[in-house]
Structure 1
Amino acid sequence: MRRSASLQRLLFYGLSGPIVALNVWLLSVLFRYFQSPLTILSFAAIVAFLLNYPVKLFERARISRTQAVIIVLLVTLTLFGFLGITLVPMVIDQTIQLLNKIPDWLSSSQDNLVQLEAFAKQRRLPIDLRVLANQINASIQNVVQQLASGAVGLAGTLLSGLLNFVLVIVLAFYMLLYGDRVWYGLINLLPANIGIPLTKSLQLNFQNFFLSQILLGLFMVVVLTPIFLILRVPFALLFAILIGISELIPFIGATLGIGTVTLLVLLQNWWLAVQVAIAAILMQQIKDNLLAPKLFGNFIGLNPIWIFVAILMGYEIAGLLGTLVAVPIAGTIKGTFDAIKSGKSGDFMSTVTIPHDSDHN
């Protein structure tokens, strides 16, 4: 009996790895084949999850769900319209200016390397920066070519983005109205001990995760924009928004956002880049250690290693979209299994921990 049990465990652990790898490969193939509709459906589901909060508030005021959904969508569209008129043109203009400036910044950085090498030769220091200079020159040519090719398809990209935005809003509207019926119709196909915890886990993880990440990202944008303006950072609004958006990617997003902005500023002014990095890291620490715990409390968390693994698998399967939904999906799976093991499907908590860099120091 013991040999049989040990053999079963060996087979289970031995086959689980290849099965997981095969499933990841199949999911990545399916996503690439149905990338456009799956992306629109995923963003529509995220929007529906977020808008479900204010819809429930209106329902508590004895307003029918249809009326509540219409009111919330009208307010949301009004807000997006206001941002589209005021903020979006500024961001697009700064983005175009930044793309035009990058070749000049790379050229100036190449000149600085030449001066540094000449300075080193005068003092007989063994420094050869020709390879790095050649790489920068190749990067300049690559950037120029990409800008030339990207400018041609800019109008088509904006038109496609606007169409996708309309589709996301329309789908989110119908998900808010009829999503429960479709979901529970699918859940009824599963046993009750799986369907109930899966439903609660999915709702709690997605709502807690995206709401918290969006609020924290807004905090970074609101705080960093005036700081960058005081420091006279070029493209201050664009850089602050870039760091705020990077907050949506857990675990590594903030580091990537701050690192990218610092590198771009470094191409122009190294001392300004140091100031930008210090200000952004300081605000990030305030957000992680003071704001986040007070806003969202303590959740039952995933191990940081599993968070990182989930992000890597999500990126392999669905690219940027996969990195956004990897953590709440992993939390949903963990929460469902925990509820099934405990046998308390009705007593459930969110398993998503909002990962902060301070937790890993």
Structure 2
Amino acid sequence: MEDERRKSVFKRSDKYFTISIYTIIVVIICAILVKAIFNFAETLGFFKDLLNGLAPFMVGILIAYCINPLYNWLYHKAFKKLFRGKCAKFRKYFSILISYVIFVGVIVSLLVYIIPNILNSVNDLVENAKSFSDKVYDWFEKTAKKYPDLDLERIEKSLESAYPTAIDFIQNSATNIGTKIYGTSKSVLSWIYNILMGFVVSFYLILDKKSMIRSLKRLIYAMFSEKHARIIISNLRESNDIFSDFIIGKFIDSSIIGVICFVVCTVLHIDYALIVSMVVGITNMIPYIGPFIGGFIGGLLLLVVAPGSLVKFVILVIILQQFDGFILGPMILGDKTGLRPFWILFAVTLGGWAGGILGMFLGVPIVAVVANLVDKFVNARLVKKGLIVPKIYASQKLSDRDERK
């Protein structure tokens, strides 16, 4: 009798101890949230510094996602019969080595071809930009002769009066050119460092991915019940699929768009085909607003140095955007994210604010993963309440009557 009473006391003590721990954790979280809200500027600065510090790891994850499919193919198919017996342990290292050689080789080959062409194009741009003002005045003179009723003198006087202001702006910019060069150099060196460290991070991610996955599974099973652990692992696997499919698919899609743009620009004799095609291909990595950004930058460039190619380029960008949106994009990406256009724009805007260009690209798969997890949680709660049928709730929708409510 005494033993049973002691056991009941210990059970109550364990119960109260658990409640106390949860209470302390909740109080700590609330205190952190209150401090973060009342010191919002410092909180934002902290997270931006944190993102800058994690930039090499983010770049490394991107590189690992790009190289991993090639590594899997080499490891599981190409070199499976080549390395047998005692040599089997070298298959992983050789597959990783060949994967990086191919990946880096493709990048270096492209740079060797692209950089000289870019330098030549930049030189042409500088030379043509010098005569841009003369072209503008010639255009005004021709237009004035062709349409004598137009009051172009007022416009010309406005341009002449704006000339001193433009000179002052250029002089002020030149005064601060040292600071700007320093800031640009620092940014370039930071990106070079992030890319180099990203390759190192990606190498160890691919090399130790099985060990890391195994350790993560052990940790999850140790902290949660078997049922919840399986659910968590399933959600992590699905989140990884969403993330990797989007990154790889978007990379392939944008590369194809860039190549098509370059070929068509060359055929149509659009000036600076390589530069504008690179701009279109790179900015196409940003969902929805990327093509508009690429079209605007390329169009502005051609407007200054090659106005005759502007109309053809704008028409080409519009056609490419429609082709990508309705044919190529759905063929390669499908509906990997499952996000509505509003949430994609939200993800791009939030990602750009938090992490710049890299954040604009990564914001979409991150928000897609979060939205997928929230959707699963909501559906599970609806199943628990008996509002939708279990096991098929992933594709089940509420009735029209419920949606109207």
The TM-score, its normalising length taken from structure 1, stands at: 0.74
Question: For residues 112 and 246 of structure 1, do their structure 2 counterparts lie closer, same or farther at Cα, with a shift above 3 Å needed?
Answer: farther
Read off the aligned partner of 2:72 and give its amino acid letter.
K
The residue aligned with 2:64 is: 48
Q: Is 1:226 matched with 2:263? A: yes
What is the alpha-carbon distance in structure 2 between the residues aligned to residue 66 and residue 320 of structure 1? 33
The residue aligned with 1:337 is: 374
Render the CA deviation track for 1:235-285: whole Å, top value 9, x for unaligned.
Answer: 211110110001111110011101211122122344420011112222232
Read off the aligned partner of 1:107 and give its amino acid letter.
S
Instruction: Select the residue among 297, 300, 306 that pairs with 2:343.
Output: 306
Question: For residues 120 and 42 of structure 1, do their structure 2 counterparts lie closer, same or farther at Cα, with a shift above 3 Å needed?
Answer: farther
Query: Residue 254 of structure 2 contacts residue 281 of structure 2 at CA under 8 Å; is this kept in 1?
Result: yes
Question: For residues 146 and 211 of structure 1, do their structure 2 counterparts lie closer, same or farther at Cα, with a shift above 3 Å needed?
Answer: farther
Q: How far 1:167 moved relative to its partner? A: 1.9
Read off the aligned partner of 1:104 and give its amino acid letter.
K
Q: How far 1:70 moved relative to its partner? A: 2.2
Q: Is 1:83 matched with 2:120? A: no
What is the alpha-carbon distance in structure 2 between the residues aligned to residue 137 and residue 46 of structure 1? 42
Question: For residues 30 and 152 of structure 1, do their structure 2 counterparts lie closer, same or farther at Cα, with a shift above 3 Å needed?
Answer: closer
Query: Residue 348 of structure 2 contacts residue 360 of structure 2 at CA under 8 Å; is this kept in 1?
Result: yes
What is the alpha-carbon distance in structure 1 between the residues aligned to residue 118 and residue 249 of structure 2? 24
Render the CA deviation track for 1:168-195: whole Å, top value 9, x for unaligned.
Answer: 2111101112245446656735753663
Query: Residue 107 of structure 1 contacts residue 140 of structure 1 at CA under 8 Å; is this kept in 2?
Result: no
Question: For residues 295 and 317 of structure 1, do their structure 2 counterparts lie closer, same or farther at Cα, with a shift above 3 Å needed?
Answer: closer
What is the alpha-carbon distance in structure 1 between the residues aligned to residue 323 and residue 232 of structure 2? 39
Read off the aligned partner of 2:208 and give its amino acid letter.
Y
Query: Residue 271 of structure 2 contacts residue 306 of structure 2 at CA under 8 Å; is this kept in 1?
Result: no
Render the CA deviation track for 1:214-242: whole Å, top value 9, x for unaligned.
Answer: 11211122112132223333321111011
The residue aligned with 2:86 is: none
Q: Is 1:173 matched with 2:220? A: no
Partner-residue secondary structure (3-state), 2:54: helix
Task: State the structure with more CA Rg.
Answer: 2
What is the alpha-carbon distance in structure 1 between the residues aligned to residue 151 and residue 104 of structure 2? 62
Instruction: Select the residue among 163, 166, 179 that pairs with 1:137.
Output: 166
Read off the aligned partner of 1:260 and give its amino acid letter.
I
Q: How far 1:33 moved relative to its partner? A: 2.2
The residue aligned with 2:280 is: 243
Instruction: Select the residue among 18, 30, 33 that pairs with 2:49.
Output: 33
Q: How far 1:203 moved relative to its partner? A: 1.4
Query: Residue 120 of structure 1 contacts residue 127 of structure 1 at CA under 8 Å; is this kept in 2?
Result: no
What is the alpha-carbon distance in structure 2 between the residues aligned to residue 316 and residue 159 of structure 1? 22
What is the alpha-carbon distance in structure 2 between the residues aligned to residue 28 and residue 127 of structure 1? 51
Partner-residue secondary structure (3-state), 1:267: helix
Read off the aligned partner of 1:82 and give its amino acid letter.
S
Question: For residues 105 and 264 of structure 1, do their structure 2 counterparts lie closer, same or farther at Cα, with a shift above 3 Å needed?
Answer: farther
Q: How far 1:290 moved relative to its partner? A: 2.2
Aligned-residue CA RMSD in angstroms? 4.1
Greater mean alpha carbon deviation, residues 189-198 or residues 114-123 = 114-123
Read off the aligned partner of 2:374 and give its amino acid letter.
F
Read off the aligned partner of 2:121 and give its amino acid letter.
Q
The residue aligned with 2:300 is: 263
Read off the aligned partner of 2:196 and give its amino acid letter.
V
Q: Is 1:58 matched with 2:67? A: no
What is the alpha-carbon distance in structure 2 between the residues aligned to residue 106 and residue 56 of structure 1? 53
Identity %: 19
Residue correspondence of structure 1 range 45-194 to structure 2 within 5 A: 45-61=61-77, 62=80, 64-95=91-122, 97-98=124-125, 100-101=126-127, 103-104=129-130, 106-108=132-134, 110-111=136-137, 115=141, 122-123=148-149, 125=151, 128-129=154-155, 134=162, 137=166, 141=170, 145=174, 161-179=191-209, 181-182=211-212, 185=215, 188=219, 191=224, 192=229
Aligned length: 330
What is the alpha-carbon distance in structure 1 between the residues aligned to residue 167 and residue 252 of structure 2? 40
Partner-residue secondary structure (3-state), 1:123: coil
Greater mean alpha carbon deviation, residues 236-245 or residues 139-148 = 139-148
Greater mean alpha carbon deviation, residues 45-54 or residues 127-136 = 127-136
Greater mean alpha carbon deviation, residues 223-232 or residues 118-127 = 118-127
Partner-residue secondary structure (3-state), 1:297: coil
Query: Residue 220 of structure 1 contacts residue 283 of structure 1 at CA under 8 Å; is this kept in 2?
Result: yes
Question: For residues 56 and 66 of structure 1, do their structure 2 counterparts lie closer, same or farther at Cα, with a shift above 3 Å needed?
Answer: same
The residue aligned with 1:280 is: 317
Greater mean alpha carbon deviation, residues 306-315 or residues 110-119 = 110-119
